[in-house]
Amino acid sequence: AGDLIARLDLDDTSAVRKAEPFHGCFPLLGPPTAVAGKVHQRCASSINAARMILAGYEHDIDE
């Protein structure tokens, strides 16, 4: 599912927290927005895509 990009030697391995599966619920999605050719609309779409990526969602770069 992924590639190894680094290997670390830690000073204190007991301080590492293990990843746990997510058992919560995702927030409801809003209605889809159409991307138009106007600059302010393309900017708003790009900002929304960046926010979704930073929130942990996948985003197809070709959309």
Cβ-Cβ contacts under 8 Å for 16 (sequence gap 6 or more) = 10
Predicted confidence (pLDDT) per residue in 12-50, tens digit: 888 888 888 989 998 888 887 666 678 888 888 889 889
State yes or no: pLDDT of 63 exceeds 60: no
Spell out a b/e string for 9-26, using b for 16 or more CB atoms within 10 Å of the CB, else e. eeeeeeeeeeeeeeeeee
**Per-domain residue ranges of the chain:** 35-63
Instruction: Check: pTM over 0.75? Answer yes or no.
Output: no
What's residue 62's pLDDT?
61
